[in-house]
Amino acid sequence: MTTTISIWKRVALTSFVLSLAATSFTATSLAAAEIGAHRHEPGASPSTLKLNDGKKWASDAPLRKGMENIRAAMASALPAIHANKLSSAKYNELANKVNNEVAGIVANCKLDPQADVQLHLIIADILSGVEAMQGKTKGTKRQTGAVTVIGALEKYDVYFDHPGWKPITH
């Protein structure tokens, strides 16, 4: 029961974060409406990722584009992250890039409802990492937030079919 509540809290947090990150009222409204429009049955949200009868979940073009952009942003920052030389300002910039990509993914989501539930688990991890990269998670280093986002990208690779996807090597 608490896991389900936690997931719904994350969905609400996602909506809030997306509304803050959007650059215009229209983008904010679209992202928030899209999150609210997803057809999740109460109690149907799993707490762990699963495959679709042993196969990866289908992805669509907006999801693939957004995830590729997140991957590119994280990969380009990785050397500075590993060297512990990424400034707070650069972590904020990276977090904002990732957050904007998540907003685009959510706004343009056209996945099957079951795949969508799985994607939201990955998005929750990404947004948790974004918060840590922004310095909003007390007691968590910004670098740990980046690791969380990269871990979510690794989960995406395991659970979603994305032709041509290249995992980040680190």
pLDDT band at 138 (very low <50, low <70, confident <90, very high): very high
What's the pLDDT score for residue 169? 84
Mean pLDDT over residues 56-82, rounded? 97
What's the pLDDT score for residue 40? 37
Distance CA 115, CA 53 (A): 12
What's the pLDDT score for residue 97? 98
Mean pLDDT over residues 61-90, rounded? 97
User: CB neighbours (10 Å) of residue 19?
Assistant: 16
Residue 33 has pLDDT above 70, yes or no: no
Q: What would the CATH number be for the domain defined by 58-159?
A: 1.20.120
The chain-wide mean pLDDT, for the chain, equals 81
Q: Quick one: what percent of the chain has pLDDT higher than 70?
A: 73
- 89-113 in b/e form (b: 16+ CB < 10 A) is eebeebbebbbbbbbbbbbbbebee
